[in-house]
Amino acid sequence: MSAVASFLMPRAICTVDISKAALYRSIQRWQPSFMIDEFDDVLSAEKGSDKSELRAVINSGHTRGQGVLRCITDDHRPELFSTFCPKGISMIGREMPPTTLSRCITIELRRRKKSERIVKFKHEDDPELADLRSRLRRYALDNAEALRAAEPSMPDGFENRCADNWRVQFAIADLAGEDWGDKARAAAIKIEGGSDKRTISARVLADTRAIFYPKDEKGFALDPLERISSVDLVAQLCAYNDSPWAEWKRGNPITPAQLARLLKPYVAPQVIRLPGGGTIRGYLRAQFEDAWERL
């Protein structure tokens, strides 16, 4: 898919590796679109390495006007290099730092069935691709002002950075007329629903809210919990399907101490008095209310 996209992107540069300096210098010189393949190596790089710093440069390029300051002349005069440009990232899986993932629209490929027929892509430019590329450029030039000023409506839950990611796509769909706007929003809801872009602390906070506000098998709300022990909260978190809590560290379940560290930005466990006497170490629902409202 990355190879096909690279033939349709304006001033495309398709690469399997790039340094942070090459990235921002290329943007300064050519104002290109990047298709970066084999991005797994960048994500696995240790903190402080050149590859790790490349992630910060890519993240900064999500917003127009951002860049990096460098002194490149003999008189050490600082110069701002823009990092804003379209970037496609190709990799196996979606294990990506939340700071990068939250800036992405994720397109997941599926293996084809043996019964499905395909036409092998030759990785060569041809008249059909050139024609499509020309039509896309013409459309962009004709509609640049309309798209720049567009403020399309957003589905419920599409806020902040998620709304920024989808604004232009929705605007293009609305401009296309008919029911393309509705189709685009339906597709976006499905894509975002299959991609958890929250930090791990925000995810445990959301899962904790579901435990304090339980539902029955039909989805009807039950009486909320007033309090819960740290041990019981861990047990219920580990019972969630498709959650990381049951195999948190080296295949072992998350512990109350590890949970407390994740929740530290929001709440801390405390000694709780039980209605019938006695005490437990755990959490009160009231502790979480402010943090839940900010999710």
Residue 114 lies in a domain: no
Asked whether residue 116 carries a pLDDT value surpassing 90, the answer given is: no
Task: Please state, in angstroms and rounded to a whole number, the distance separating the CA atoms of residues 273 and 49.
Answer: 49
- Pair (6, 66) in one structural domain: yes
| Judgement on whether residues 60 and 11 belong to the same structural domain of the protein | yes
3-state secondary structure of 293: helix
Please indicate, yes or no, whether residues 183 and 228 belong to a single structural domain of this protein.
no
Which residues constitute the domain of residue 219?
200-293
Q: Are residues 27 and 96 in the same domain?
A: yes
Residue 230 lies in a domain: yes
215 and 160 assigned to the same domain: no
At 118, the pLDDT band (50, 70, 90 cuts) reads: confident
Shared-domain flag, residues 6 and 72 = yes
Residue 215 lies in a domain: yes
**Based on the domain organization, do 58 and 151 belong to the same domain?**
no
Domain boundary (78, 104, 130) is at: 104
Do residues 222 and 235 touch, judged by C-beta distance below 8 A?
no
The predicted-structure confidence for 37-86, as pLDDT tens digits, reads as follows 888 766 666 665 666 778 888 888 888 888 888 888 888 889 899 999 99
Residues 108, 196: Cα–Cα separation, whole Å? 13
Same domain assignment for residues 218 and 283: yes
- 188 and 97 in a single domain? The answer is no
User: Residue 47's pLDDT is what?
Assistant: 62
- For residues 151 and 159, the model is more confident at 151
| In-domain check, residue 117 | no
Task: Evaluate whether residue 149 is within a structural domain.
Answer: yes
Asked whether residue 168 is assigned to any structural domain, the reply reads: yes
Considering the domain architecture, whether residues 164 and 207 belong to the same structural domain is answered as no
pTM: 0.66
Same domain assignment for residues 227 and 183: no
6 and 95 assigned to the same domain:
yes
Q: How many domains, the chain?
A: 3
**Residue 87 contacts by C-beta under 8 Å, 6 or more apart in sequence?**
33, 34, 35, 36, 58, 61
